[in-house]
Amino acid sequence: MENTLGLEIIEVVEQAAIASAHLMGKGDKNEADRVAVEAMRERMNKIYMRGRIVIGEGERDDAPMLYIGEEVGICSQPNAKDFCNPDELVEIDIAVDPCEGTNLCAYGQPGSMAVLAISEKGGLFAAPDFYMKKLAAPPAAKGKVDISKSATENLKILAECLDRSIDELVVVVMKRDRHNDLIKEIREAGARVQLISDGDVGAAINCGFAGTNIHALMGIGAAPEGVISAAALRCLGAHFQGQLIYDPAIVQTGLIGESKEANIARLNEMGITDPDKIYTAEELASGENVLFAGTGITPGNIMNGVRFFKGGARTQTLVISSQSKTARFVDTIHMHEQPKVVQLR
Ligand code: VTB
């Protein structure tokens, strides 16, 4: 992936985060999402690239912007031939979640982010709008923990890999009824549980870094966001596995189709013949070059949220690249007006 593209992608997530942050704490999650989508799309369409949304705001008929299949970037515009050379352009697939954790943003809670992942064409799994059972863990446990094992077994393995006792582990789980048994099991195994109301992408990424005091993410969240988490964790060499969940009785919340049978039929139509397949991070984000970018909207464990000052804002963004093998924290001061002073605080 071109370096300049990497730089522009940072601005895409920054702009989405700033837009959402204006609505932080206002109690309107749809509006917080809408403005982020608009800002993300506007900035993306100024990039010299041929991009295609593979994970976005939904099917074309349901989403006016950043819908699945939407072409983005200067070189996707109808008059692109006038200023883009198709021979020198790599086609890019993009997975976006302009406001991950919309509730967190709307209620001023920590952990919401504007995130995206990009890869060359075909490099990101176009996950259906279902749920996904997820297991994220630090690099030391990669390939050792296994989503098909019980939480108890995985905690034993994790403790060994991280050279600590089970009660020194913290597992993030989303507070949902569907996780009641899982939470009980983790506690009985001796580990500690950090319950979150929303935002499992941030939680997954925390597993990729030492020092966050988060050692695993377990439980069921949305599938599309699972791919974005997988992209980040793949670049970090951390563990991520995902398994699609298509049975409404397991999920218990959210919109997930009429019935298990209808959902399996839909998956088959999409070419997913083994609906129970367990995907690794490398399968969900299989591209040769994968890049993750996320800007904090509200503060998180490893990144600050957007802070406004007179005439501007300051953002923090994490960019992880498989190509350059870097995890880069980008701290940006946005000067919307000519400032009298630029403060560093
Ligand atoms: C959300 C959201 C998560 O999964 O809860 C969602 O906060 C799905 O779960 O970050 P519910 O339908 O039960 O709310 C995520 O979007 C991402 O996986």
Give tens-digit pLDDT for 217-226: 999 999 999 9
- Best mutation site among 102, 129, 130, 174 for ligand 1 pocket (most ligand atoms within 8 Å of CB): 174
Q: 331 and 251 in one domain?
A: no
**Tokens standing for 41?**
């799309």
| Residue 285 clears pLDDT 60, i.e. is over it | yes
Name, in order, each residue with C-beta under 8 angstroms of 102's C-beta and a sequence gap of 6 or more: 29, 30, 32, 33, 112, 198
Q: Which of 122-131, 185-194, 331-340 has the lowest mean pLDDT?
A: 331-340
Q: What percent of the chain has pLDDT over 90?
A: 82
Give residue 201's domain range: 131-284
340 inside domain: no
Ligand 1 neighbourhood includes 221 CB (under 6 angstroms):
yes
Q: How high is the pLDDT of residue 254?
A: 67
62 inside domain: yes
Ligand 1 neighbourhood includes 225 CB (under 6 angstroms):
yes
Q: 238 and 112 in one domain?
A: no
210 inside domain: yes
Q: How high is the pLDDT of residue 115?
A: 98
Ligand 1 neighbourhood includes 220 CB (under 6 angstroms):
no
| SS3 (DSSP) at 72 | strand
Instruction: Return d(Cα 24, Cα 60) in angstroms, integer.
Output: 28
| Residue 85 clears pLDDT 90, i.e. is over it | no
Q: How many CA atoms lie within 13 A of 180 on its CB side?
A: 5
Cβ–Cβ under 8 Å, residues 282 and 235? no
Query: Across residues 237-254, what is the average pLDDT?
Result: 92
Q: Where are the alpha helices (DSSP H) in 45-164?
A: 102-106, 151-161
323 inside domain: yes
pLDDT tens digit sequence for 125-183: 999 889 999 999 999 999 999 999 999 999 999 999 999 999 999 999 999 999 999 99
Name the nearest CA neighbour of 93 among 71, 109, 115.
71
The residue whose CA has the least distance to atom 12 of ligand 1 is 254
Name the nearest CA neighbour of 68 among 55, 50, 85.
55
pLDDT band at 1 (very low <50, low <70, confident <90, very high): low
Query: For residue 226, which atom of ligand 1 is closest to its CA?
Result: 18
Ligand 1 neighbourhood includes 208 CB (under 6 angstroms):
no
Look up residue 325 and give its amino acid. K
Q: 266 and 136 in one domain?
A: yes
Cβ–Cβ under 8 Å, residues 318 and 329? yes
341 inside domain: no
Q: 235 and 319 in one domain?
A: no
Name the nearest CA neighbour of 36 among 126, 90, 104.
104
- Average pLDDT over all residues of the chain: 94
Query: For residue 251, which atom of ligand 1 is closest to its CA?
Result: 13
Phi, psi angle pair for 71, to nearest 5° = -90, 135
342 inside domain: no
Ligand 1 neighbourhood includes 11 CB (under 6 angstroms):
no
Q: 263 and 223 in one domain?
A: yes
The residue whose CA has the least distance to atom 3 of ligand 1 is 199
Give 277's DSSP letter.
P
Q: 154 and 88 in one domain?
A: no
Q: 299 and 268 in one domain?
A: no
Q: CB pairs under 8 A, 24+ apart, for 183-191?
A: 185/150, 185/151, 185/152, 186/151, 186/155, 186/218, 188/152, 189/151, 189/152, 189/155, 189/156, 190/155, 190/165, 190/166, 191/155, 191/166, 191/167
331 inside domain: yes
274 inside domain: yes
Q: 144 and 30 in one domain?
A: no
Instruction: Return d(Cα 219, Cα 200) in angstroms, integer.
Output: 9
Q: How high is the pLDDT of residue 308?
A: 95
Say which CATH number the domain at 254 has: 3.40.190.90
Q: How far, CA to CA in Å, does 223 sit from each of 189, 218, 251? A: 27, 14, 12
Say which CATH number the domain at 293 has: 3.30.540.10
* C-alpha 250 to ligand 1 mean position (Å): 14
Query: For residue 100, which atom of ligand 1 is closest to its CA?
Result: 10
Query: For residue 222, which atom of ligand 1 is closest to its CA?
Result: 18
What is the DSSP track for 3-70? HHHHHHHHHHHHHHHHHHHTTTTSS-HHHHHHHHHHHHHHHHTTSSSEEEEEESSS-TTT-SSS-TT-
Query: For residue 200, which atom of ligand 1 is closest to its CA?
Result: 10
Q: 229 and 161 in one domain?
A: yes
Query: For residue 253, which atom of ligand 1 is closest to its CA?
Result: 13
Q: 163 and 87 in one domain?
A: no
- Best mutation site among 225, 229, 246, 252 for ligand 1 pocket (most ligand atoms within 8 Å of CB): 225
Q: What percent of the chain has pLDDT over 70?
A: 98
| Residue 76 clears pLDDT 80, i.e. is over it | yes
Ligand 1 neighbourhood includes 219 CB (under 6 angstroms):
no
The domain tally of the chain equals: 2
The continuous run of DSSP H or E covering 344 comes out as none
| SS3 (DSSP) at 187 | helix
* C-alpha 198 to ligand 1 mean position (Å): 6
Ligand 1 neighbourhood includes 252 CB (under 6 angstroms):
no
R_g of the chain computed on alpha carbons: 20
- Best mutation site among 97, 100, 198, 244 for ligand 1 pocket (most ligand atoms within 8 Å of CB): 198
